[in-house]
Amino acid sequence: MVIKAEREMALRRRFGDVLTLSDLAAVLKYPSVGAILKARSRGRLPLTLVQMPPRRGWFATAAAVAELLCVLEDGRRHVDENEQRTPKPTETIDPEKTY
């Protein structure tokens, strides 16, 4: 498991303190910058984007992206743990009954 500080340092080394939409598309595996903008406009982007005047466009901090990736990894880990449990049958099968 990668801790948030390690992930944030890796993002800072690669992209700097601030990620552009192109950077976010690469890191979050979105097909395009347009897909990120559409997700943001629909309220489906789990990340806060900011504007930095006088620069154009939207940006995210490396810390915010690292936090999101850690949350996503933690959620995946819980799903993986649940999938490893053997589900109990909800009904018994009667061998005499024809189905």
Domain assignment of residue 60, yes or no? yes
Domain assignment of residue 32, yes or no? yes
Which has more confidence, 91 or 14? Answer: 14
61 neighbors 18 (Cβ within 8 angstroms): yes
Number of domains in the chain: 1
Domain assignment of residue 99, yes or no? no
pLDDT recorded at residue 49: 95
Domain assignment of residue 93, yes or no? no
Whose tokens are 């900011």? That residue is 50
Q: What is the pLDDT of residues 85-97, one digit of tens each?
A: 555 555 556 666 6
Range of the domain at 64: 4-83
15 neighbors 62 (Cβ within 8 angstroms): yes
Q: What is the pLDDT of residues 62-87, one digit of tens each?
A: 999 999 999 988 877 665 555 555 55
